[in-house]
A and B are shown apart, each in its own frame.
Chain A
Amino acid sequence: MNVPFVPVRGLLHTDYMTVRPDFKAVPNPYDPREEIAIVPSLAPDVAVFHGFRGDRFGNVTASGERDAKLIVQAARRAVATVEEIVDGNLAEEPHTGVLIPGIFVQAVVHAPRGAHPTACRGYYDDDAQHIGEYMEAARSDESFRGYLERYILGTADHAEYLERVRRAALTGARA
């Protein structure tokens, strides 16, 4: 929308108003008896989200439980990773989930299991074992550096990442 702020019902008299000086309490201009919280708009340079399917026109289908449609409108550019690339035009076909119009999307990347270790509804459940390993690793900076090296920095691509996850699952989670 490119508006500078958004009014929010709530937030007033919580400590968020203290720790976030950019959240402000202002009189409602249409009813001065009321004060209302305003928060600055977010305008990311890039939004990245994971969807179900994408087509050559940039149309993407994604879960209606998530806020992909919101973030693509907030960001200047959007990149979608998807489980499947389809040949036709998703905007003209029956589909599952919500349709993110291609006009908001600058790139579609084929990345099966791209939501891992979280779930992609209709494709796979979340990977509780891997999330458990992540939580263990996140306990200290040192163990988290080990996690990053093992799965992110030390892998060439998503395929190698998934292969390491698969092997770790077979041998049991390493803390």
Chain B
Amino acid sequence: MAELMAVAIARRLRDGETIAVGSVSPIPASACLLARATHAPAARLILLGSPDHFPFTGGMQEFYNFAMRGGLDVFFASGAQIDQHGNFNLSVIGDYERPTVRLPGGRANGILYFVARRTILFRTGHSRRVFVPRVDFVTGPGSTPDTVYRLGGLDAVVTDLCVLEFPRERRRLELGTLHPGVALEDAQARTGFPLHAPDPVPPTVPPTPEELRLLRTSVRESLERFYPRFAGAKSGEGGRRSPFTGRQPS
């Protein structure tokens, strides 16, 4: 499934784009490496937490300055909660002062969601707990009034079941494609808001043999260099996470 998600993300990336990936995000990192190995050889990658792919010498401040002046074409984030309006929550579950879970995500997402031209949210474990009618806390707002400086926003949400699109004119999540073998009823049953869906829903185009070969060879080898902790983990997700070593942009 991680492979299908990586391929679905890779196909949204374009040649020559500047793409930033948060620390310890192997699925989008794989997608970027795959895109570079196929249709986007000139894409520039910023992998936070990887010294080989961090071009800045002035710390995260310099990275944020670069982002705020419009340097990022694509940014990735996950979401503990994502709602139909394109709001996502990476800050806290429950009350802010006495939360059930305190999450790391406010620092970067409160800026990058506004200034990256496109943000792609990725999320495994598609469920009603994640896809809620309204997030507990807005870390990143799906929409903002015209008085707010905003260079971009949500492009799509890629999950282990489907791809949800966020058309700017309607400002709501809509079903784009369903992954092979996933029925619309399953996706709806595991989503906490009504899924607006085309009829019929097109399938997510599965990985080609060549894409799979790259993901399992050169992409994997590069990824193991960036994220040695995932070296033993299958398909790039599920290694031990260290909350301290990576700067936490996502």
Contacts and interface: CB of A to CB of B under 8 A. Distances in A.
Interface residues of A, number: 31
Interface string A64-79: 1111111000000000
Contacts of B56: 64-65
A14 to B, nearest CB: 5
A47 interface: no
A103 interface: no
Given A14-B141, A66-B59, A126-B242, A34 B51 contact: no
Given A12-B144, A13-B148, A64 B111 contact: no
Contact of B58 (A15, A35, A69, A135): A69
A85 B68 CA distance: 37
B137 A68 contact: no
Interface string B118-147: 000000000000000000011111001101
A67 B54 CA distance: 14
Interface stretch (A50-58, A117-125, A140-148): A117-125
Contacts of B140: 14
B61 A15 contact: no
A34 B147 contact: yes
Nearest to B145: A13
Nearest to B69: A9
B112 interface: yes
A131 B145 CA distance: 43
Contacts of A67: 59-61
Interface in B225-250: 229, 240, 242-245, 247
Contact of B148 (A35, A66, A70, A119): A35
Contact of A10 (B112, B138, B147): B112
A155 to B, nearest CB: 20
A8 interface: yes
Interface in B37-78: 51, 54, 56-61, 68
A165 interface: no
A78 B56 CA distance: 23
Nearest to B49: A65
Contacts of A33: 147
